[in-house]
Structure 1
Amino acid sequence: MMRAAIFSVVLFLSLNVADAQESFIGNINYPLLQKYVDLAKQNYPKRKMYKASELSAKAKVGVAKATYLDAFTASYYYRPDNSAIINTTNPYSINGVQLGIYFNLGILFRTPAYVRQAKEEHNEKIYQAKEYDILLESEVKQTYYEYLRQSSDLKVKAQAYTDNKAASDGLKFKFEKGEVTLDDYTKAKSITSYSNSERLLAELNLLKAKDSLEALIGEKLENVK
């Protein structure tokens, strides 16, 4: 009779686990999950690093385009109006201001290659940032799912401990009245002790999953609504 009672407790636990697994997908809060993803993209340091690299590469494109200006050099020569009309040193010189513009063909021809290289490096940084966004979003989702799983597991094991303890306390009363054997009572206490250990382990696993998720999103879960 007692063995049947113990078996019933174990069976009850198994049924609870099955129910929790069946309802797991229904516990997913997709709007909240999207908030977690957005927060991770906003706060996670490595993601900020990728975005900074992208902006730096974009700035280099502008610097490369500005190199076109290096090919051109402007100069001027000023000769006072009261100077002699004929200049024996430079007979081509005239009174007033003389302007000159020079350009370097080497720089002019090399600059398009510099611009193309800078643009390709910018595109590379864009693709790297997009790839990391995909990986980060996947990691946030997986961590969130693990958090839900551990939360569900804790509920099941906490309930199992409560039920087993109630059954064990009932058997203690019966044992004291001599209605059950010491062996049956000892087995019930052993099941309760094991159930309590499982409950504590589930609590620890839930805390770990929560910490992992908070590390990704940069916020306490309680602050995200």
Structure 2
Amino acid sequence: MTRFILLFVTFFYTISAVNAQESFIGDINYQLLEKYVDLALKNYPKRKMYKASELSAKAKIGVAKATYLDAFTASYNYSPNNAARYNTANPYTLNGIQFGIYFNIGILFRTPALVRQAKEEHNEKFYQAQEYDILLRSEVKKTYYEYLRESADLRVKAQTYIDNKAASDGLRYKFEKGEVSLDDYTKAKTLTSYANSERLLAELNLLKAKEELEALIGEELKNVK
């Protein structure tokens, strides 16, 4: 009878350990997961850094194109009509308003290369930002799945502890009545202690997964519905 009871306690723990491998796929909320991804793309600092770098590179394209204007310089001069045609105060051969446009061909030839360079730099930053978005999406999803797995693992191990404690308490009652040996009772308590340790470890792992997910999305999970 004693061996049967001890086997019963061990059976509780073994079945619970097997149940820890149950699928958590049914717990996945894909709509909520997309919200987590969107929040990460909006809030995660490193993603903001990549986006700012891309926008900065895009702005440089406009700056490079504006260099075309540097090739042209306009000026004007006004000389009264009644002024002498040429003297030290009026060193011009014509009177009235005079306009002039100066053209720098070197700048004109150099600017297209500057524009192409700016566009290539923008493309580089754009593709880097795209790559990081893909990696960030993947990281959020993996962390969310890990969070669900740890949550399921905690449920199983919490139930394992409850079951083992109930069986151990039953053995304690029988031990006090002299129906089981001290050795059997001690083994049952050891199993219960181990189950409790596993439960506490599962709680810790769940908290870690929760913290990692919240760090990615920039929000507490309880605030995301």
SS in 1 for 2:77: strand
Tell me the residue number matched to 1:182: 182
TM-score by length of 1: 0.93
Tell me the residue number matched to 2:113: 113
SS in 1 for 2:215: helix
CA pair 121-18 structure 1, distance change in 2 beyond 3 A? same
Letter in 1 for 2:54: E
Letter in 1 for 2:107: I
CA pair 10-133 structure 1, distance change in 2 beyond 3 A? farther
The CA deviation at 1:91 is 9.2
Q: Unaligned regions of 5+ residues in structure 1, if any?
A: none
Tell me the residue number matched to 1:64: 64
What is the distance in 2 between the residues matched to 1:140 and 1:91? 75
Q: Does 1:149 align with 2:142?
A: no
What is the distance in 2 between the residues matched to 1:54 and 1:19? 48
The structure with higher relative contact order (CA 8 Å, sep 6+) is 2
Aligned residue runs from structure 1 range 133-172, under 5 A: 133-172=133-172
SS in 1 for 2:21: helix
TM-score by length of 2: 0.93
Aligned residue runs from structure 1 range 8-87, under 5 A: 8-84=8-84, 86-87=85-86
The CA deviation at 1:96 is 1.0
What is the distance in 2 between the residues matched to 1:64 and 1:50? 21
SS in 2 for 1:102: strand
What's the C-alpha RMSD, in Å, of the aligned pairs? 1.8
- Whether the 8 Å CA contact 1:76–1:97 is kept in 2: the answer is yes
Aligned residue runs from structure 1 range 114-129, under 5 A: 114-129=114-129
Q: Summarize deviations over 1:18-37 as a string: whole Å, max 9, x none.
A: 44534311111111111111
Letter in 2 for 1:207: L
The CA deviation at 1:3 is 3.6
Q: State the aligned residue count.
A: 224
Runs of 4+ in 1 over 6 A off after TM superposition: 88-92
SS in 2 for 1:137: helix
Letter in 1 for 2:73: T
Letter in 2 for 1:180: V
CA pair 155-76 structure 1, distance change in 2 beyond 3 A? same
What is the distance in 2 between the residues matched to 1:49 and 1:67? 28
Q: Does 1:208 align with 2:199?
A: no
Q: Unaligned regions of 5+ residues in structure 2, if any?
A: none
Tell me the residue number matched to 1:218: 218
The CA deviation at 1:45 is 0.4
